[in-house]
Amino acid sequence: MHNCARYLIFFQYIGTKYRGVVKVPSHQLGKKGVQDHLEEAIQRLRPLNLVSLSVSSRTDTGVHALSNSAHFDLHRRNDNPPFTEDILVQALNFHLKAEQIRVTHAHRVPDNFHARFRAQSRTYIYRIALGVTHHTLLPLTDENLCWSLRNTELDIDAMREAAALLVGTHDFSSFRAVSSDMPLKSPVKTMDVVAIQPGSSFAHSHFHREMQFWELTFKSRSFLYKQVRRMTGALVAAGQGLLSVSQVKQILDSRDTLAYPQGVVAPAQGLFLKSVDYEESDLQFFQQPDSTDKPNNSCYLNKRKLEYPVRTHMCIGRTGRKTPGWDLHQGPFCCKATVLALPLSIHFLCIWNCKKINSHGRRSWPERW
């Protein structure tokens, strides 16, 4: 039986309280990265292997994600079959608890799949709010989730003219920040989309006054370090009249990091990783037939065929009350997932493996996740 599997998970997070998405070295105190919390949640599933995530897209401290992705390998204990995608998502979100991180969906992928290198494109959105003289004027739903400017208007035509200069394949050396891996990465990137369109507050339907928002969208296969924030800063400067369109072109053509003007980089809190896209065919997993696999309505222990139960059983919650659940079949065993009927403040997800018949023909209680 194959009980080791590679998964691709998609997850979102509010980046304000995290030191970026990638793992923070253990010797550094303070905030953790999003990856730290995800790996802790996976380890609570008690895999045989030490799990290490490969994140597709790095984001800095304070940057958010509507959908980032990562892959990892998970080897289950006791010859249990791999988790189904839905059960994995539910279990990880349960163990993430109060963290501002949510796993949205998962895919079982081939063993040679790589979340970073198989990505076909990445899309970022930068949110800007106008006419904000003090941060308390923003709705709470937009606090730390946009760049608030005092300007009541921007020259959108100038911004769009400057944005058009960035579309296509260019050497973006001027728009990357200095980093340790600069010599290893080519500064030539192809920008598929650089667009500017009206946006809105997350509470626009329920806020007591109108606020003007704009969204800048950037799409490419990959980006340089802080490239999106530096491009955003230059475009906003053009909209404020601090840079002309021709000056933006000069910055691009100079191909020099030092040519980028100081004090123009957009802050982190307005940036969202919107999506990471893959070819549909890369997400298809086909189970390789195994000569030891047996029909799904029985299991084989010590070369002895044993029937296993597939009926719904009862789960006992915090109140001690038995609660009916539903069966989700996984190979020769089935899995129980039950959302207990508790108040919303203490709702939690309990996930059990179903009972299975042991080698002596007696039913044994399963291990809890």
Q: How far apart are CA 235 and CA 357, in angstroms?
A: 66
Q: How far apart are CA 58 and CA 73, in angstroms?
A: 20
Please give the structure tokens belonging to residue 66: 């509507």
Specify whether 192 is catalytic.
Answer: no
DSSP 76: -
Q: How far apart are CA 274 and CA 276, in angstroms?
A: 7
Q: Which among 60, 155, 277, 282 is annotated as catalytic?
A: 60
Q: Is the Cβ–Cβ distance between 122 and 221 less than 8 Å?
A: yes
Q: How far apart are CA 122 and CA 188, in angstroms?
A: 16
Q: What is the dihedral of CA 86, 89, 94, 99, to 10 degrees?
A: -160
Q: Is the Cβ–Cβ distance between 236 and 152 less than 8 Å?
A: no
Q: Hunting for tokens 């009206």 — which residue is that? A: 198
Q: Which of 90, 70, 80 is nearest to 46 (CA)?
A: 80
Q: Is the Cβ–Cβ distance between 67 and 275 less than 8 Å?
A: yes
Q: Which of 297, 278, 274 is nearest to 124 (CA)?
A: 274
Q: Which of 212, 211, 259 is nearest to 234 (CA)?
A: 259
Q: Decide: residue 17, CB within 10 A, 0-12 exposed, 13-18 middle, 19+ buried.
A: middle
Task: Give bridge partners of residue 323 from the DSSP assignment.
Answer: 315
Q: Is the Cβ–Cβ distance between 185 and 179 less than 8 Å?
A: no
353: enclosing H helix or E strand: strand 349-353
Q: Please give the C-alpha separations between residue 358 and each of 142, 168, 260, 295, in angstroms, as whole numbers.
A: 55, 62, 68, 18
Q: Annotated catalytic sites, by residue?
A: 60
